[in-house]
């Protein structure tokens, strides 16, 4: 059974750095063509893709946010970490990690973690 | 930047067919996916690569994609299908783009 679970702070202050961890099971990120992405959804709004990391350590970022994002993986721990610098109240959202197997679709999602940016 | 547009809402009677459209420039040249999201829950993939259903997704969900429009069709709509639906495509840069979302109401 494939599962993913996000963890991180529920509240961050403006200008701080957010660090989120995605811990997964049921697949390996060292398997060819396997990828994990981070996405977010502000309250009442649409989904937004943030970043992707591949089995071969290739990394891709949203054009609009790439200067603020860093994605990394620890294959031995089955974890993917996302850092976002210079947080702002508009970054308040539920953050999800999701697996991408052989297609450009997000086939399994984590439960999400709500992050509020407020002083 | 690439944009995908969906109608804000679709209403359907139980047992009838609901069609949700997703419009984008030359969308038919890309792979379209669809996600179902119920209140307070994570999205669930219901269609990928235009028309393929993941394991466990009922046959009443089907998809098509041609020209500038992808369509998700729910045949024999059930009350449990009431949810928000999002289309998604990869614009090649790579940026994964989501549609504006459609709320399906089963009356």
pLDDT band at B92 (very low <50, low <70, confident <90, very high): confident
Q: What is the pLDDT of residue B88?
A: 98
pLDDT of B94 strictly over 80: no
Interchain pair A105, B48: CB under 8 A? yes
Residues of A with CB under 8 A from a CB of B: 37, 39, 46-49, 52, 60, 62-64, 96, 103-112
- Å from B36 to nearest chain A CA? 12
Q: From chain A, pick out residues whose CB is under 8 angstroms from the CB of B52.
A: 103
Instruction: Work out the average pLDDT over B8-19.
Output: 97
pLDDT band at B1 (very low <50, low <70, confident <90, very high): confident
Tokens representing residue A53 in the block: 């990391």
- Å from A11 to nearest chain B CA? 19
Q: What is the pLDDT of residue B91?
A: 86
Residue predicted with more confidence, A11 or A102: A11
Distance CA A51, CA A65 (A): 9
**A55-114 pLDDT tens trace:** 999 999 999 999 999 999 999 999 999 999 999 999 999 999 999 997 889 999 999 999
CA quadruple A4, A7, A11, A16: dihedral sign: negative
Q: What is the pLDDT of residue B29?
A: 95
Closest in A39, A105, A112 to B45, CB measured: A105
pLDDT of A29 strictly over 90: yes
Judged by a CB distance cut-off of 8 A, whether residue B28 touches chain A is: no
pLDDT band at B93 (very low <50, low <70, confident <90, very high): confident
Closest in B1, B31, B93 to A104, CB measured: B31
Q: Which residue of A has its CA nearest to B101?
A: A46
Give the other-Cβ count within 10 Å of A25's Cβ. 11
Q: What is the pLDDT of residue A7?
A: 98
Interchain pair A49, B99: CB under 8 A? no
- Å from A102 to nearest chain B CA? 11
**B20-79 pLDDT tens trace:** 999 999 999 999 999 999 999 999 999 999 999 999 999 999 999 999 999 999 999 999
Q: From chain B, pick out residues whose CB is under 8 angstroms from the CB of A107.
A: 45, 48, 54
pLDDT of A34 strictly over 90: yes
Cα–Cα nearest to B74, from B11, B28, B7, B5? B11
Q: From chain A, pick out residues whose CB is under 8 angstroms from the CB of B90.
A: 104
Strands of chain B, DSSP E: 9-12, 18-23, 32-37, 44-47, 61-66, 69-74, 83-90, 96-98, 102-106
Instruction: For chain A, give the secondary structure using H, E and C.
Output: CCEEEEECCCEECCCCCEEEEEEEECCCCCCCCCEEEEEEECCCCCCEEEEEEECCCCEEECCCCCCCEEEEEEHHHCEEEEEECCCCHHHCEEEEEEEECCCCCCCEECCCEEEEECC
Q: What is the pLDDT of residue B30?
A: 95
Closest in A47, A60, A103 to B49, CB measured: A103
Q: What is the pLDDT of residue A105?
A: 95
Q: What is the pLDDT of residue B17?
A: 97
Interchain pair B88, A106: CB under 8 A? yes
Q: What is the pLDDT of residue B38?
A: 97
């Amino acid at each position: 059974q494939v599962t993913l679970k996000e963890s991180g702070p529920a509240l961050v202050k403006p200008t701080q750095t957010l660090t989120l961890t995605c811990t997964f099971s049921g697949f390996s990120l060292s398997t060819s063509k396997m990828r994990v992405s981070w996405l977010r959804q502000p309250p009442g709004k649409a989904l937004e893709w943030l970043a992707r990391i591949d089995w071969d350590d290739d990394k891709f970022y949203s054009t609009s946010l790439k200067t603020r994002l860093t994605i990394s993986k620890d294959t031995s721990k089955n974890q993917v970490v996302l850092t976002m610098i210079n947080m702002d109240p508009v970054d308040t959202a539920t953050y999800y990690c999701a697996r991408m197997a052989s297609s450009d679709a997000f086939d399994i999602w984590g439960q999400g973690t709500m992050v509020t940016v407020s002083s | 930047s690439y944009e995908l547009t969906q109608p804000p809402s679709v209403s359907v009677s139980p047992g009838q067919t609901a069609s949700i459209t997703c419009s984008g420039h030359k969308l038919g040249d890309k792979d379209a996916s669809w996600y179902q999201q119920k209140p307070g829950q994570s999205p669930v993939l219901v269609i990928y690569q235009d028309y393929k259903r993941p394991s466990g997704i009922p046959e009443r969900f089907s998809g098509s994609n041609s020209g500038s429009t992808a369509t998700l069709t729910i045949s024999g709509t059930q009350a449990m299908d009431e949810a928000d639906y999002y289309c998604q495509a990869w614009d090649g840069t790579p940026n994964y783009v989501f549609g504006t979302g459609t709320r399906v109401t089963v009356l």
